[in-house]
Amino acid sequence: MAIVKVMLVKASGKLSEFNNFISACRKSGEFHPENACQFLSGTMGFTCLSEENPYSAKLQKIEELTTASGIKLISHNTVDDTNFDDHVTEYICEIENALSSLYSDRKLLLDQLNECERGIEQFSHFKGLDVPVEDTTECEFVSVRYGHIPKEQMLKLKAYENNPYVLFIPCSSDAVNIWGVYFAPKEMVKEVDSIFAFMFFERIRVPGAVGTPTEIVDELQENVDILKQALDAIDKQVVEFWNQQSQKCNELYSRLKYLNDSFELRKFAAVKNDQYFFICWILKNNLEKFKKAMDGLGGVTFDISNTDESGRITPPVKLKNNRFFKVFESFVSMYGLPPYKGIDVTSFVAITYTLIFGIMFGDLGQGFVLAVCGLLAWKWKKISFGKLLILCGISSMFFGLIFGSVFGYEKLLDPVYEAIGLSGKPLEVMYSINTVLLVAIGIGIILMTISMFFNIYGCIKKGAYGEALFSNNGLTGILVYLSGVLAAYSFMSGKAILPGAVVFALMGVGLILLFFKEILIGIMDGHVNWKPKGKGDFIMQNFFELIEYILSYFSNTVSFLRIGAFVLVHAGMMMVVFSLAGESENIVIIALGNIVVLGLEGLLTGIQALRLEFYEIFSHFFEGNGRPFLSAEQAVNNKLK
């Protein structure tokens, strides 16, 4: 709804009292710190404050311990700024020692488990060998090779049937390989190895074991079960340990996080001798709270102003919207935040995006499903994006009533229309194609005109009156655009809202003003270099820019045809679903078809509606050059990155 007003604070005081100042700032509410060194002249003797953070190592250690255990720490909004004593370090060491012992045992068991599972995988291929493994590996005169050979290579073995030293015993097979063993006298093993290597035999070195492969696999499986039980027992001990320590650990983490962030905020300050200089932005509605927090401090001098007189510090932007429109801030931020003195268009985006989506996806049943999914995502999964789905679903339901579509059923709402005195649905989509497309164009004309009025308002706010009057998105641009719309309407319909001479006179005047807009804007807004450097270059450049403006007006307007196109596409896709379902209207096919249409078209509609917002609406007025208002914690995290 609006951009939150902020105030610039410039504070200075004794460096020994700086921690108290930071603590008071954090207690007073949100504030956006600035890097003071960037706004002070180096000749003044100020330097950036650079110190080793005494809390970062402890914070990192406790985060590492909890992450390794899969524990999620919760940082409470504490303002306890008391320093830690040695007991904190001792407590962290106690946690580390207790967990180290458990993790050491767990790693040993896990290594043994992996070894057993690897053995099971290897020996299970040779279950068909009913001979103890130790008998094959301890032969004095015979060498044994375990491994696998591609199935297509088995035919080549027949060529060695008369060779008494080539003996392959298959044990099992899979889709690609035959698993087995071959035997060879030790004095002939190199020759036999080369024969099997030619047939792409891949040897596997099985670990030492006693018994047949089947017995070994069974024994290893028993070991696996025992090891898994031991691992489960250790995992339970870890969980019990954290259950006992969670409250104390979270309190410790919260204090560490608070003190760590407070110390990191010191790095935003500039220092000279024993004095610090700190710059930040506070919310205007927190001004009294900030002053009250400062009253309790001694030796602090601060100045509060609306803006930076030097113009070197641009105010950060914080958007404020109601809880349903707030989710659309992500769309605005995706394009870029408005400047501080600009316009917060979040509510406009929320309304237009919801309406465009609803028209393009108009179906009462599918809109209801979309709204329910959004409600579940919001309430159950705590996903804020669900609010957007709720609004889009409700909009789809509304336009579904107009189009008379419920999960693709076109006649289901006829009794409702008859009950309210209508002969049928308000709009029969497939029999009103021209109407649908013309309405889409009309929506585009209205939204583009509104967006240009937004540009005029924004230009007036920042004092750019020349831009408001003579730019291609200003009053002159609106004059040319609407004159073109009237001319096109008269040509297509044969009806004239205004006399043709008046329309073309207005268009001509507008085009002349657009041609000379740089000069007119420069004179009115007091630009220094408003005079053209050369007549030829000026004429050529502005001529082509004029053509570009006309083409952009046309292409932007035509782009809104996609609204009508998606209305027709939705109806067409549901006709395909019902044709596949046949005369019996197979409910399974209809249900599956609705699911596919809901997912596929819902995604495409969302993307196309957003594209219209960015390229056809925002491009006429929105300047996404604002910088976000970062709270103290966000600023610290951003600086650490």
511-540 per-position pLDDT tens digit: 989 888 888 888 887 777 777 777 878 888
Torsion of CA 169, 172, 177, 183, to 10 degrees: -20
Listed range (102-106, 134-138, 224-228, 614-618) with the worst mean pLDDT:
134-138
Q: For the domain bounded by 131-211, which CATH number is listed? A: 3.30.70.100
Handedness of CA 516, 521, 524, 528 (dihedral sign): negative
Do 532 and 538 meet the contact criterion of CB atoms below 8 Å apart? yes
In whole angstroms, what is the distance from residue 362 CA to residue 394 CA?
A: 10
Q: Is the pLDDT of residue 81 over 60?
A: no
Note the pLDDT of residue 80.
57
pLDDT at 421: 81
pLDDT at 633: 83
Question: Cβ(406)–Cβ(570) under 8 Å?
Answer: no
User: Residue 447 in contact with residue 345, Cβ under 8 Å?
Assistant: no
Asked if residue 83 has pLDDT above 70, the reply is no
Tokens of 119: 């053995």
What are the structure tokens assigned to 126, written together?
Answer: 């040779």
pLDDT-derived band at 439 (thresholds 50, 70, 90) equals very high
Q: 82 pLDDT band (50/70/90 cuts)?
A: low
When computed from its CA atoms, the radius of gyration of the chain, rounded to whole angstroms, is 38
Number of Cβ within a 10 Å radius of residue 49: 19
Question: Are 174 and 181 in contact, with CB atoms under 8 Å apart?
Answer: no
Rounded CA-CA distance 231/252 in Å is 29
Percent pLDDT > 70 in the chain is 96
CB 338 within 8 A of CB 622: yes
Res. 640 pLDDT band, cuts 50 70 90:
low
Domain chopping of the chain, boundaries: 2-49+269-316, 131-211, 322-444+560-625, 463-559
**pLDDT value, residue 290:** 87
Quick one: pLDDT band at residue 78, thresholds 50, 70, 90?
low
Lowest mean pLDDT among 20-29, 106-115, 151-160, 260-269: 151-160
Tens digit of each residue's pLDDT (9 = 90 or more) over 122-167: 788 888 777 787 777 777 788 888 888 888 888 788 788 788 888 8
- pLDDT over 90 (residue 69): no
Place 1 in a pLDDT band, splitting at 50, 70 and 90.
Answer: low
Beta bridge partners of 11: 278, 302
Q: Tell me what pLDDT residue 609 has.
A: 92
In angstroms, the CA 13 to CA 533 distance is 53
Q: What is the mean pLDDT of residues 250-261?
A: 84
Express as a percent the part of the chain with pLDDT over 90. Answer: 15
pLDDT, tens only, 275-315 = 888 999 999 888 888 888 888 777 788 888 887 666 678 88
The number of beta carbons lying within 10 Å of the beta carbon of residue 424 is 12
pLDDT in tens, 573-614: 888 888 888 877 788 898 999 899 889 888 999 999 999 998
The DSSP symbol for 565 reads H
- Res. 85: pLDDT tops 70: no
Domain 2-49+269-316 has CATH 3.40.50.2020: no
Q: What average pLDDT score do residues 18-24 get?
A: 87
Cα distance between residue 374 and residue 76, in whole Å: 29
Confidence class for position 558, pLDDT limits 50, 70, 90: very high
**What would the mean pLDDT of 91-105 be, rounded to a whole number?**
81
Asked if 203 and 146 touch (Cβ cutoff 8 Å), the reply is yes
Of the candidate ranges 14-18, 206-210, 426-430, 586-590, the one whose mean pLDDT is the lowest: 206-210
How many whole angstroms separate alpha carbon 310 and alpha carbon 553? 39
Q: What pLDDT was estimated at residue 433? A: 87
- Name the pLDDT band for 641 (thresholds 50, 70, 90): low
Calculate helix-pair angle for 18-28, 287-295, nearest 10 degrees. Answer: 150
Torsion of CA 70, 76, 80, 83, to 10 degrees: 10
DSSP state string for 486-501? HHHHHHHHS--SS-HH
| CA atoms of 426 and 383, how far apart (whole Å) | 36
Exposure b/e, 181-203, CB count within 10 A at least 16 = b: bbbbeeeebeebbebbeebebee
The mean of the pLDDT values for the chain is: 85
Confidence of residue 444 (pLDDT cuts 50, 70, 90): very high
Q: What pLDDT does 248 receive?
A: 80
Q: Reduced to 3 states, what is the DSSP secondary structure of residue 95?
A: helix
Rounded Cα–Cα distance for residues 249 and 58 (Å): 12
Q: How far apart are CA 223 and CA 114, in angstroms?
A: 11
DSSP string, 585-637: T-HHHHHHHHHHHHHHHHHHHHHHHHHIIIIIIGGGT----B-B---HHHHHH
CB neighbour burial string for 70-93, b if at least 16 within 10 angstroms, e if fewer? ebebeeeeeeebeeeeeebeebbe
Q: Where are the beta strands (DSSP E) in 59-151?
A: 142-150
What whole-number distance in Å separates Cα of residue 8 and Cα of residue 198?
80
Start-to-end C-alpha separation, the chain: 32
Rounded distance between C-alpha atoms, residue 405 and residue 571, angstroms: 8
Judge whether 2-49+269-316 and 131-211 match in fold: yes
Instruction: Give the number of other CB atoms < 10 A from CB of residue 106.
Output: 18
Q: Which residue has the tokens 């690609």?
A: 176
pLDDT in tens, 463-508: 888 888 988 888 998 999 999 999 988 888 878 788 888 889 998 9
C-beta contacts of 33-38 below 8 A and 24+ residues apart = 33/265, 33/268, 33/278, 33/279, 33/280, 33/632, 33/635, 34/268, 34/279, 34/280, 34/281, 34/313, 35/268, 36/268, 36/269, 36/270, 36/277, 36/278, 36/279, 37/270
